[in-house]
Structure 1
Amino acid sequence: MKTLVKGALAGAAALAVTSAPAVAQNLMISASLPQVHMWVGQSLDPFADKLEERTDLTFTRFYAGELVGVGRGLDALQGGTVDIVSPLLAPYIPGAFPLTDISQLPVYGTDSAQITRAFQKLMDSDVELKDGKTFYEYEIEPKGIVAWGLGASGPYAINTVSKEITSPADFQGLPLRAGAALQTMTLENLGVNPVTMPAAQAYEALSRKTIEGILLSVADWKSYSMTELLKYSIEGVALGHWESYAAISKSAWDGLSEEQQKAMDEVAREVALENAEFIQKQYLEVRAAAEAAGTTFVQASDLPQELQDHIAEASVATWKQWIETMEADGHPARKAAQLWAELVQEEGGELPPGVAEYLAD
């Protein structure tokens, strides 16, 4: 196993010229999602609560986009509108975080806790990707923020209102919601007609049959009131996991004392892992409730072999397409993907057949 950086933000903390004295201060923290969402009520609030208990920091909290809307978190941090944004929905900020979508690459046999740990390792890694820069130095530091990974979503599954997928032909032209560019690649490789929209807008689209289904983790159904709406789901293959960040502006970070910085780093990591445990628990609860309401859950390994092969081929194609597209834009996607593949497998996940061979070329 590669040696990982000790301390989530050892490099970021070292950038502070001096440590401010320990003083009580209030920080403004904003979420673009409502408290019912697992990244708010079970992440932002515990993060702020624990820091208020352990330090002299206090937080003024804003929810559901009342201060900063979806996709505006980075601007708000850089412009000083708020001190902390959680979740900073990186995939909704086109071009700003080119490598963060890596967690949405298709894998097999993974859950929230595995991907959360793998993503923490990715952010801590001292493996150089380009120009001597690690993942954190390449992806986070240039934005003027200090960031931590959140509890990863559960595995993104193919879910439909009524359509059962029994052959590759059933994917052809099927209108399904995707939430980010990499998910769109995956769906296109399956033959689906992807419709990109935030998950919060999908309920109405599904209800009106504007779309037939959605790429979304089962644990997230409750957050978007979809438990009794979706009636068919393919499990066992994760068409990615949604990851993002809790982030504080560099100026606000530099205003913290060394003790406050240390506490924030520890709490952010602790809450991410607790959040992952909650997400897994919520997955089991939501799945049981949906099954009781008539939803059919099908394991990918129980699908017809032709369909299994089609999903595997589409998954490999997505890894290749994402890497080659990012590399063409000058980003170190191949090295990042090699590192990510290693970390996912360390956590017990599996790669789609053919990915390891492609990465080794």
Structure 2
Amino acid sequence: MKRTTQTLAATLLFSASAIGMASAQTAMRCSHQLPPAHHIAKVVDQWAAEVEKLSEGELDVQVFGADSLVKANDNILAVAKGDIECAFSLNFQWGKTLPLMNVTVGPYTMSSIEAWKKWPTSEAAAFLEQKLAEKGVKNVAWMFQTNTSVFTSKGKALITPADFQGLKMRGIGPAFDRGLTAMGATTVSMPGSEVYQALATGIVDAAITDVAAAYSRKYYEVQDHMTVVPVLAAYLHGYVNPGWYEGLSEKSKAALDQAGKSASQWALDASIQASADAPKQLEEKGVTVHIATDAENEAFRAAMQPAFAEGFAEETGEDGKTLLGLIEKIQ
């Protein structure tokens, strides 16, 4: 098609202007696995808006949730390689790459909200940030997700260690899963986004997840019993590619720092509220919810903790001992 000179000139002028506007911003693609309804997914969105505001538009934060950009298990490598600028992962997704990240999933190890309030500026967090840097990523946000989990099941509640005998169960990582195995379960590793279908089709019989995630991921459609237990503490953390980060202006670096600190508090507030609301929400969907008693929790602790401790010690060595000592300071 022919264009008039005037139209072509106007088009070129607009294109040049658009390119100029685009060049004034630095794209920051952030991948995570959480569904939009999850309370921490909403905190990630709030964090992104805060980064853009504090950077005064220098950073264009583009959030891709629900595994829509990179799959959960690939996020760490994608950021380290520079394929994307940013991602958020659950701590236990570091698996054997950095098993120190699993320290909070030790059965009944760090379930205190007061400890989590101190976490972002603690020596323990700084220790892990250094270890993350050695693995090729720069940490920019700590987002507490839960200290309240559920054992989900169908047909009967899981309220004693003996109830796990013979179950196929979605686990969350090697060290924690040792505790499930000690109770007689066979664990299967899979991302959170695949658990619903696995439960629906019988690939697994049961799962452990954050009580709020059990609601947001609609587990109530495929599981009818849930036992609420303070068995582990999990967190999502945001990290960026170090080379990309070093190319930012001081304003953008400061924006990431401040937004990360604010998001830590937002996540804590949101998680406390979600954990309080979720049991009733699940009951309203027809789930039989059982709050584990002190005696039941003690039985779970006694069955699971030694197996976890053995695995964590094997995987982390002296660094693990150091980290546990630093965590003791904030308990």
Deviation string 1:293-343 (CA, Å, 9 cap, x unpaired) is 3323323226xx5x555312123313421332124xx45112212322442
Say whether residues 1:207 and 2:176 are aligned partners.
no
Say whether residues 1:180 and 2:182 are aligned partners.
no
Equivalent pair of 2:36/2:66 in contact (CA under 8 Å): no
SS, match of residue 99 in structure 2:
coil
Moved more, 25-34 or 194-203: 25-34
Shift in CA distance, 288/158, structure 1 to aligned 2, threshold 3 Å = same
Could you say which residue in structure 1 is the equivalent of 2:264? 272
Equivalent pair of 1:30/1:62 in contact (CA under 8 Å): yes
Q: 1:332 aligns with which of 319, 324, 327?
A: 319
Q: Structure 1 residue 37: deviation in Å?
A: 5.1
Deviation string 1:61-120 (CA, Å, 9 cap, x unpaired) is 4333333221222222222211111x1345334422220011111127936x55643542
Percentage identity across paired residues of the two chains: 18
Q: 1:162 aligns with which of 149, 155, 164?
A: 155
- TM-score of the pair, normalised by structure 2: 0.81
Shift in CA distance, 338/99, structure 1 to aligned 2, threshold 3 Å = same
Counterparts of 1:298 and 1:270, CA distance in 2: 34
Shift in CA distance, 253/116, structure 1 to aligned 2, threshold 3 Å = farther
Unmatched segments (≥5 aa) in structure 1: 1-22, 127-133, 346-361
Say whether residues 1:314 and 2:306 are aligned partners.
no
Counterparts of 1:263 and 1:174, CA distance in 2: 47
Shift in CA distance, 195/114, structure 1 to aligned 2, threshold 3 Å = farther
SS, match of residue 170 in structure 2:
strand
Counterparts of 2:306 and 2:63, CA distance in 1: 42
SS, match of residue 72 in structure 2:
coil
Could you say which residue in structure 2 is the equivalent of 1:98? 99
Q: 2:214 aligns with which of 214, 217, 221?
A: 221
Counterparts of 1:62 and 1:226, CA distance in 2: 23
User: What number of residue pairs does the alignment pair up?
Assistant: 306
Between Structure 1 and Structure 2, which shows a larger proportion of helix residues?
2
Residues 130-149 of structure 1 aligned to structure 2 (within 5 Å): 134-137=127-130, 139-147=131-139, 148-149=141-142
Could you say which residue in structure 1 is the equivalent of 2:11? none
SS, match of residue 149 in structure 1:
strand
Structure 1 runs (4+) deviating above 6 angstroms are: none
Could you say which residue in structure 1 is the equivalent of 2:144? 151
Equivalent pair of 1:115/1:152 in contact (CA under 8 Å): no
Q: Structure 1 residue 188: deviation in Å?
A: 1.2
SS, match of residue 144 in structure 2:
coil
Counterparts of 2:109 and 2:135, CA distance in 1: 32
Shift in CA distance, 296/108, structure 1 to aligned 2, threshold 3 Å = farther
Counterparts of 1:78 and 1:186, CA distance in 2: 31
- TM-score of the pair, normalised by structure 1: 0.75
Q: Structure 1 residue 277: deviation in Å?
A: 1.7
Say whether residues 1:76 and 2:68 are aligned partners.
no
Equivalent pair of 2:92/2:102 in contact (CA under 8 Å): yes
Could you say which residue in structure 1 is the equivalent of 2:182? 189
Q: Structure 1 residue 274: deviation in Å?
A: 0.7
Shift in CA distance, 80/123, structure 1 to aligned 2, threshold 3 Å = farther
Equivalent pair of 2:93/2:173 in contact (CA under 8 Å): yes
Residue type of the alignment partner of 2:69: L
Deviation string 1:175-213 (CA, Å, 9 cap, x unpaired) is 221122223112112222222222221212222333221
Q: 2:282 aligns with which of 286, 290, 305?
A: 290
Q: Structure 1 residue 265: deviation in Å?
A: 0.9
Say whether residues 1:65 and 2:54 are aligned partners.
no
Unmatched segments (≥5 aa) in structure 2: 1-22
Counterparts of 2:68 and 2:289, CA distance in 1: 37
Counterparts of 1:298 and 1:67, CA distance in 2: 37
Shift in CA distance, 118/230, structure 1 to aligned 2, threshold 3 Å = farther
Could you say which residue in structure 2 is the equivalent of 1:7? none
Equivalent pair of 1:120/1:149 in contact (CA under 8 Å): yes
Counterparts of 2:101 and 2:253, CA distance in 1: 24
SS, match of residue 41 in structure 1:
helix
Deviation string 1:121-175 (CA, Å, 9 cap, x unpaired) is 446667xxxxxxx3332x2121232203223234222221222235443221222
Shift in CA distance, 114/156, structure 1 to aligned 2, threshold 3 Å = farther
Could you say which residue in structure 2 is the equivalent of 1:33? 33
